[in-house]
Copies of this chain bind each other. A is one copy, B any other.
Amino acid sequence: MSKSYRVAILGATGAVGTELLELLLSRDFPLSELKLLASPRSAGNSLRFGGEQLTVEAVGDRSFDGVDLVLASAGGSTSKQWAHKAVAAGAVVVDNSSAFRMDPQVPLVVPEVNPEAVVNHQGIIANPNCTTILMNVAVWPLYQVQPLRRIVVSTYQSASGAGARAMEEVKTQARAILQGETPQAEIFPYPLAFNLFPHNSPINDLGYCEEEMKMINETRKIFGDDKLRVSATCVRVPVLRAHSEAINLEFEQPFDVAKARDVLSQAPGVKLVEDWQANYFPMPIDATGCDPVLVGRIRQDLSHPCGLELWLCGDQVRKGAALNAVQIAELLVSKDLL
């Protein structure tokens, strides 16, 4: 008989948490028990899991007793507070926050890219940033074919990256604007409906925001390539869910477009979406709820003989967060590391 596991979701009531629930069910994860944990504020709520109603418990010192796996998606400070306690209680933590991603002791894993990194985990495995995951799934297959010198990426990030309340805020703002009223911004610093702005994360001395530095540093760690040169411009756009990215790749040698297309058409986690006749390429509305990263518009960079341009959309809540975490959990199961 195959093994089954006692799993806890920490941050079960958030946008990523509810997606984790759906994925554990639909992907038939070998559960023997599922525990929903959240802040005391959300405790007592109940969430549907298949035919059952599960009650959300307030996370506390005894929450992780007997738990094999914690899927954490409650933000960095909650992860910092609880992850080591969960590990001390014997659980493995797959953490969706940025708290441990750059910790040299913590594997940072995109299963399509560096599955082997899970092997030496010491209790915590980090799930990368959403934009990083989507980019890495698309770029890694090409990187394996030919040395990559440089990535220049511009993002088009949806409201879902800031959570369920941010998605509601954009809708409320849109309603106000359509009624001729002034939109209010609470979650975001500025109105996002019918507008856009550079990503609202803290900015470092070089003028890069945290989101951009995540794309740069996490990609290097996941690819295991400290010399990979990456520059990023991250932008919030008034899309509800699913991020898009315009990616410029500079290789050491020219990379044939047909070859790139062939490589990506067979790459795990990638779906090629290119109808040149119909001018139909990846769009957020098509990526929403979709597992693979949609990639298209693979073109020779007209400004550089060794350059390739590509365009992608991916569901930020799904492959950008919850799905990648569940894939890491599945990897741990398959390697008997839980």
User: Cβ of A283 and Cβ of B207 under 8 Å apart?
Assistant: no
Most B CB within 10 A of own CB, among A174, A233, A281, A311: A233
Q: Is A29's beta carbon under 8 Å from chain B?
A: no
State how many copies of this chain the complex holds: 2
Q: Which residues of chain A from 170 to 206 have a CB within 8 Å of any chain B CB?
A: 170-171, 174-175, 178, 189-191, 193-198, 200, 202-203, 206
Closest B residue by C-beta to A195: B285
Report how many residues on chain A are interfacial, defined by Cβ distance under 8 Å: 59
Bitwise interface map of A from 236 to 249 toward B, beta carbon under 8 Å scored 1, else 0: 01111000101010
Q: Apart from A156-B156, A196-B237, what 18 extra A-B contacts exist at CB < 8 Å? A: A150-B304, A152-B303, A154-B154, A156-B196, A156-B235, A170-B194, A174-B178, A194-B239, A194-B240, A196-B239, A197-B281, A198-B281, A207-B298, A229-B302, A231-B248, A231-B301, A231-B303, A235-B246
Closest 6 CB pairs of A and B: A154-B154, A229-B303, A207-B299, A231-B303, A154-B246, A233-B246
Q: Can you report 7 A-B residue pairs in the complex whose CB atoms are below 8 A from each other?
A: A190-B283, A195-B285, A197-B281, A198-B281, A203-B279, A216-B302, A233-B311
